[in-house]
Amino acid sequence: MTASKTLLRGRILDFRAEPQDADDTDAYRYVEDGAILIANGMIKASGDFATVAAQAPDAQVIDHRPHLLMAGFIDTHIHFPQVQVIASWGSQLLDWLNNYTFPEETRFADPGHSAAMAARFYDLLLSHGTTSAVAFCSVHPTSAEAYFGEAARRNMRMIGGKVMMDRNAPDGLLDTPQTGYDESKALIERWHGKGRGLYAITPRFAITSTPEQLDMAGALVAEHPDCFVQTHLSENHDEIAFTRSLYPDAPDYLGIYERYGLLTARALLGHSIHLTPREIDVLAETGAKPVFCPTSNLFLGSGLFDDAGLRGRGITNAIATDVGAGTSYSMLPTLREGYKILQLQNQKLHPLRAFHWITRGNAVALGLQNQIGTLAEGTEADVVVLNANATPAMALRMERAETLSEELFILQTLGDDRAIAQTYVAGQAMKTS
């Protein structure tokens, strides 16, 4: 019989705020012999092992020493239907969509295919330490049903939505302003706030939505203000030019979404690379969140995300894989390539700030920091166990590592799914190999 309480033992790293460097010790908590007490899918306590263990002498102890225990990783922009187009030979954004993505997404009209891909998608997320994500489904309600249904079976905190797109795509991928509204509305009623599922109203981007459809999307936002909004913004120069030609009266790309009431503090704007000063002002005013997608931006040659510039305006940036233009399901290589993009702009990403970003930082961007992203008492028990000696190259480098920051940097620079020793969702071990 499984114990009603579980105690995970290991070194624990938890964040209270965003640290700038290792000296910013008020922002994080590191315990050499730590423990996380879990019951009913929730964290009941975390801290020093002896202290926490004394609270539950009957708990089942799972000893992960000497590994590092952190909150599960959060991916804020990923495309569920692109699981089989990742690593497709690249071109610029619009060509890549037309040549690879759109043909693949037509397959998700089939409920059987959607269900099979959902199972494999979640296996991949969990094997890479990701316990929560925000995903674009295809235009088909069957895709979103499979996505949310599989998340519910695994009791995962997941956000997603069917894309709304009524032009500039193949016939098999088009809805209409009315069907996009109706299908999204039905999915919100079925899945939003049910279990750990949350809905994101998802006009794919301005190129694939008419003004009438964006108006309907705005109506959904007004009717369901607790839902998220996700779309794309200013990823590629050709994309921006095409968008402006479709909406010639808009002041800029972001102004299109602004006009239709899509910009809220729960709006996630993938890429947000080539922004005008006015657009940056609007982001700061509305609280909408740019989402940095480093591996995708490099893969498609889209440009360099200005993290420091946006942060300097008080804007909260999220970070994400953007699979399938993104080249890894893992948030570790995502940090690795993000570090390089920022280096090219003379911007620094300290490893402590990096790991805050993919845990509490992304939770803050989602407004969910009281539920996920930390190891604080009363939060959901999503935990990742990290092994910085997972490969020969990592173990060799670790022989010379002397600090926690060095260990974290080795994880993000050399790590991948092999560095994930275990992933817990609501206290249940989910990684089988």
| Residue 5: both structure tokens together | 């309480």
Q: Residues 406-425: what's their mean pLDDT?
A: 98
Q: Please choose, from the candidates 98, 183, 182, the residue with its C-alpha nearest in 3D space to the C-alpha of residue 140.
A: 183
Which residue stretches of 43-140 are H helix? 49-55, 93-96, 102-105, 111-127
| Residue 197: both structure tokens together | 């599922």
Give per-residue pLDDT as tens, 409-418.
Answer: 999 999 999 9
HSE-CB of 49 using CA atoms within 13 angstroms: 16
The answer to whether the beta carbons of residues 197 and 151 sit under 8 Å apart is yes
Given this model, what pLDDT does residue 86 score? 84
Given this model, what pLDDT does residue 433 score? 67
User: What is d(CA 210, CA 214) in angstroms, rounded to the nearest whole number?
Assistant: 6
DSSP annotation string for 273-341:
-S--HHHHHHHHHH--EEEE-HHHHHHTT-----HHHHHTTTPPPEE---TTTSS-S-HHHHHHHHHHH
DSSP annotation string for 370-414:
TTSSS--TTSB--EEEE-TTSSHHHHHHHTT--SHHHHHHHHHHH
395 pLDDT above the threshold of 60: yes
Give per-residue pLDDT as tens, 200-254.
Answer: 999 999 999 999 999 999 999 999 999 999 999 999 999 999 999 999 999 999 9
55 pLDDT above the threshold of 60: yes
Q: What three-state secondary structure class fits 56?
A: coil
User: What is d(CA 288, CA 267) in angstroms, rounded to the nearest whole number?
Assistant: 5
Please classify residue 245 by burial: count the beta carbons closer than 10 Å to its beta carbon, then call 0-12 exposed, 13-18 middle and 19+ buried: exposed
Strands 73-79 and 157-161: unpaired
The answer to whether the beta carbons of residues 154 and 430 sit under 8 Å apart is yes
Give per-residue pLDDT as tens, 314-357.
Answer: 999 999 999 989 999 999 999 999 999 999 999 999 999 999 99
208 DSSP assignment: G
User: What is d(CA 252, CA 234) in angstroms, rounded to the nearest whole number?
Assistant: 10
| Residue 373: both structure tokens together | 């992203």
pTM: 0.97
The one-letter amino acid code at 89 reads W
| Residue 365: both structure tokens together | 């961007």
Given this model, what pLDDT does residue 1 score? 35
What count of other Cβ atoms lies within 10 Å of the Cβ of residue 221?
A: 21
2 confidence band (pLDDT: 50, 70, 90): very low
Q: Residues 250-261: what's their mean pLDDT?
A: 98
Helices (H) and strands (E) in the chain, counts: 17, 16
